[in-house]
């Protein structure tokens, strides 16, 4: 047992999305960073870098926060579904299912991961604006709820489901026309969106579904965006959802579920101030309840689909610092052994993160540096002009809040293998994702026979 003291004061243990670091973050007697009772520089030494680290306690705390808040504020059945696009691995899906949450998948790969991880299929929904026949059939055969995003989904299911086949549980996605103050690329609730039906099309599609024997419409869905700090858009969404519910039930559909999507933001940097999971769930629950009561509608089951706010705060990335380039009067670059292939968010969304030196987190930040990745791309910069304690080659750099949309959006750009992942708890670290080796990257390459043999 490491002798430690807490790292940050004022941490919200019940709502990890409001913290800059995992809830178990501490410093040992020598002032070095510890998460889950594991010394971070030891993890870097043992498993290599870059390394994704996941704090089991934080991840479970986020699941519990959603579950308990739904039970507390919503007077009818409810279920939080993990938006597995945030980070889809067997271990994470298994842990989330063990906390009683369901899951949202958007591809054959995510669906397969969920089912193999043991998520009960009745708690899985399949999304996607262009689902393949294979994806639809994998969903159908396993009895998961399929989210109808457009008429193409209906056409393909109509063609694929054998006559007399079991009905498929459906959910209907529409764009609620609510705009959020978030990055344009992750805004999906706007009317100009590739996802879901336009509200004007809703009645027609509801009528179409009524006449299809295999179609059993059980839910309606909308998602308004991601990394949202305001509660107002979610309050507004409730009225739009209740209108759609009233319309669907009025047309004779036995709709049980209202799914309000995900979107709650997290703290990446000190100035970020997201609402707690508890407040978000409270607002959503009360708004749905009131909107239904105002329309005299029996309360539906309330579903939500958090991704980022569940997994991001539990994750961190360890890098080793390598080269340094000083351009006098301009800037000092320090480079790490990963970058845009393990975390594409800075180059894609200009996202900011909080960085520490693993073994000197509390040292005075006296040097302004630009932290660059190792990829052959000038834009591969994790953060520009950032104050850090003086660092040297070989030091371990820690980036907090990388648990969502890092690994899952990662790539092999420059043929750089994907990092390993370890999950930590009570001084124990277990691999949940092995490190890719350069040789792994060649396994799907072929040289056509007609090419001239070399050597
Ligand atoms: C349909 C849907 N549900 C849920 C989510 C999860 O959102 P977040 O990670 O912001 O909670 C997304 C992400 O964009 C989404 O598209």
Instruction: Give the CATH number of the domain where residue 330 resides.
Output: 2.40.37.10
pLDDT of residue 454: 63
Specify the pLDDT at position 192: 83
The set of catalytic residues is: 376
- What spacing in Å lies between the alpha carbon of 133 and ligand 1's midpoint? 23
230 φψ region: left (φ > 0), alpha (ψ -120 to 50), beta (else): beta
Asked if residue 274 has its Cβ within 6 Å of ligand 1, the reply is no
Check whether residue 117 and residue 205 sit in a common domain: yes
Q: Of the candidates 287, 308, 329, which is a domain's last residue? A: 308
Residue 369 lies in a domain: yes
* 29 CA from centroid of ligand 1 (Å): 40
Is the beta carbon of 265 within 6 A of some atom in ligand 1?
A: no
Residue among 189, 193, 226, 230 whose CB has most ligand 1 atoms within 8 A, to mutate:
226
Binding site membership of 127 for ligand 1 (Cβ less than 6 Å): yes
Which atom in ligand 1 lies closest to the alpha carbon of residue 127? 1
Same domain, 198 and 344: no
> For atom 5 of ligand 1, which residue has the closest CA?
262
Quickly tell me which residue has 């705060």 as its tokens: 313
Lookup: tokens for 401: 């809040």
* Any ligand 1 atom below 6 A from CB of 313: no
Measured in degrees and rounded to the nearest 5, phi and psi for residue 380 equal -80, 75
Indicate if ligand 1 lies below 6 Å from the C-beta of 117. Answer: no
Ligand 1 contacts CB of residue 403 (under 6 A): no
CA distance 48 to 42: 9
pTM: 0.96
Q: Is 227 exposed, middle or buried (0-12, 13-18, 19+ CB in 10 A)?
A: buried
- The answer to whether residues 65 and 142 belong to one domain is yes
Residue 196 beta carbon below 6 angstroms from any ligand 1 atom: no
pLDDT at 185: 45
Q: What is the pLDDT along the chain (455 residues), one digit of tens a residue?
A: 889 988 876 788 899 999 999 999 999 999 999 999 999 999 999 999 999 999 999 999 999 999 999 999 999 999 999 999 999 999 999 999 999 999 999 999 999 999 999 999 999 999 999 999 999 999 999 999 999 999 999 999 999 999 999 999 999 999 998 877 665 444 555 578 899 999 999 999 999 999 999 999 999 999 999 999 999 999 999 999 999 999 999 999 999 999 999 999 999 999 999 999 999 999 999 999 999 999 999 999 999 999 999 999 999 999 999 999 999 999 999 999 999 999 999 999 999 999 999 999 999 999 999 999 999 999 999 999 999 999 999 999 999 999 999 999 999 999 999 999 999 999 999 999 999 999 999 999 999 999 976 65
Ligand 1 lined by 83 (C-beta under 6 Å) = yes
Residues 6+ apart with CB under 8 A from 365: 387, 388, 389
Length reported for the chain: 455
The torsion angles phi and psi of 244, rounded to 5 degrees, stand at: -65, -40
- Cβ–Cβ contacts within 10 Å for residue 378, how many? 7
**Atom number in ligand 1 closest to CA 312:** 9
**Tokens 């039906």 sit on residue:** 197
305 Cα–ligand 1 center, Å: 6
User: Is the CB of 305 inside a 6 Å radius of any atom of ligand 1?
Assistant: yes
Residue 227 tokens, joined? 């990394």
Query: Do residue 207 and residue 349 come from a single domain?
Result: no
- Residue nearest to ligand 1 atom 4, measured at CA: 262
Residue 273 belongs to a domain with what CATH number? Answer: 3.20.20.10
Determine the residue of 185, 263, 265 to mutate for testing ligand 1's pocket, defined as the one with the most ligand atoms within 8 A of the Cβ atom: 263
Closest residue by Cα to residue 205 from 257, 153, 144, 136: 153
CA 42–ligand 1 middle distance (angstroms)? 34
Domain end residue (candidates: 273, 308, 343): 308
Ligand 1 neighbour 17 (Cβ under 6 A): no
Residue to mutate, 85, 303, 312, 313, ligand 1, most ligand atoms under 8 Å from C-beta: 85
How would you class 267 by CB atoms within 10 Å of its CB: exposed for 0-12, middle for 13-18, buried for 19 or more?
buried
Q: Distance (Å, rounded) from C-alpha 315 to C-alpha 311?
A: 7
Does ligand 1 lie within 6 Å of residue 43's CB atom?
Answer: no
**Alpha helices per DSSP H over 323-409:** 345-349
- Tell me: do 163 and 288 sit in the same domain: yes
If you measure from the C-alpha of residue 306 to the centroid of ligand 1, how many angstroms do you get, rounded to a whole number?
6
Distance CA 97, CA 15 (A): 19
Position 125 in a domain: yes
Considering the domain boundaries, does residue 249 fall inside one? yes
From 308, 340, 363, the end of a domain falls on: 308
Q: Is residue 13 domain-shared with residue 107, that is, in the same domain?
A: no
Residue nearest to atom 13 of ligand 1 (CA): 226
160 and 213 both lie in a single domain: yes
Ligand 1 atom having least distance to the Cα of 226? 10
371's torsion region: left (phi>0), alpha (psi -120 to 50) or beta?
A: beta
* Residue 403 alpha carbon to ligand 1 centre in Å: 14
Residues 333 and 273 in one domain: no
Q: How far is it, in rounded angstroms, from Cα 262 to Cα 127?
A: 13
**Residue by residue, what is the 3-state secondary structure of 50-116?**
CEEEEEHHHHHHHHHHHHHHHHHHCCCCEEEEEEHHHCCCHHHHHHHHHCCCEEEECCHHHHHHHHH
User: Looking at the 3D structure of the chain, how many domains does it have?
Assistant: 2
- pLDDT at residue number 152: 98
Q: Tell me, using a 6 A CB cutoff, whether residue 87 lines ligand 1.
A: no
Q: Which atom of ligand 1 is nearest to the CA of 86?
A: 9
Predicted pLDDT at 231: 95
Q: Which one-letter DSSP state was computed for residue 378?
A: T
- Supply φ then ψ for residue 26, to 5 degrees: -150, 175
In a domain, residue 449? The reply is: no
CB of 261 closer than 6 angstroms to any ligand 1 atom = yes
To test the ligand 1 pocket, which listed residue (80, 261, 264) has its Cβ within 8 A of the most ligand atoms? 261
The boundaries of the domain holding residue 37 are: 4-55+312-441
229-241 burial: b if 16+ Cβ within 10 Å, else e: bebebbbbbbbbb
The β-bridge partners of 105 are: 126
Is the same domain home to 196 and 208? Answer: yes
pLDDT at 180: 78
């Amino acid at each position: 047992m490491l002798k430690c003291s807490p790292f940050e004061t004022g941490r919200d243990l019940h709502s990890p999305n409001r913290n800059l670091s995992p809830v178990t973050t501490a410093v040992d007697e020598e002032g070095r960073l510890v998460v889950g009772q594991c010394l971070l520089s030891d993890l870097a030494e043992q498993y290599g870098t870059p390394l994704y680290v996941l704090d089991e306690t934080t991840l479970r705390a986020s699941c519990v926060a959603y579950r308990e808040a739904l039970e507390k504020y919503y007077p009818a059945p409810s279920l939080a579904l993990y938006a597995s696009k945030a980070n889809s691995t067997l271990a994470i899906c298994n842990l989330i299912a063990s906390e009683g949450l369901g899951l949202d998948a958007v591809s054959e790969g995510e669906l397969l991961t969920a089912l193999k991880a043991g998520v009960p299929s009745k708690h899985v929904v399949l999304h996607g604006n262009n689902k393949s026949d294979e994806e639809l059939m994998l969903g159908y055969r396993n009895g998961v709820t399929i989210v109808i995003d457009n008429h193409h989904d209906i056409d393909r299911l109509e063609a694929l489901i054998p006559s007399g086949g079991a009905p498929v549980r459906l959910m209907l996605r529409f764009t609620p026309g609510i705009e959020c103050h978030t990055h344009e690329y992750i805004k999906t609730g706007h009317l100009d969106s590739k996802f879901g039906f336009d509200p004007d099309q809703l009645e027609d599609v509801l009528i179409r579904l009524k006449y299809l024997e295999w179609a059993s419409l059980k839910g309606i869905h909308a998602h308004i965006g991601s990394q949202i700090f305001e509660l107002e858009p979610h309050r507004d969404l409730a009225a739009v959802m209740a209108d759609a519910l009233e319309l669907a039930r009025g047309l004779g559909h036995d709709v049980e579920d209202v799914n309000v999507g995900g979107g709650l933001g997290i703290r990446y940097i000190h100035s970020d101030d997201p609402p707690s999971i508890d407040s978000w769930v409270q607002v959503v629950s009360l708004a749905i309840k009131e909107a239904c009561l105002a329309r005299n509608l029996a309360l539906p089951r309330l579903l939500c689909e958090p991704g980022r706010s569940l997994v991001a705060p539990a994750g961190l990335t360890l890098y080793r610092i390598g080269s340094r380039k000083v351009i006098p009067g301009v800037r000092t670059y320090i480079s790490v052994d990963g970058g845009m292939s393990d975390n594409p968010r800075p180059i894609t969304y200009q996202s900011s993160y909080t960085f520490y030196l693993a073994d000197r987190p509390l040292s005075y930040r006296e040097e302004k540096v630009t932290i660059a990745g190792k990829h052959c791309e000038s834009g591969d910069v994790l953060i520009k002009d950032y104050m850090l304690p003086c660092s040297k080659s070989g030091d371990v750099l820690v980036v907090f809040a990388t648990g969502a949309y890092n690994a899952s959006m990662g790539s092999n750009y420059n043929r750089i293998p994907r990092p390993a992942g370890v999950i930590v708890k009570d001084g124990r670290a277990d691999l949940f994702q092995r490190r890719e080796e350069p040789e792994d990257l060649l396994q799907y390459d072929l040289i056509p026979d007609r090419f001239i043999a070399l050597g």
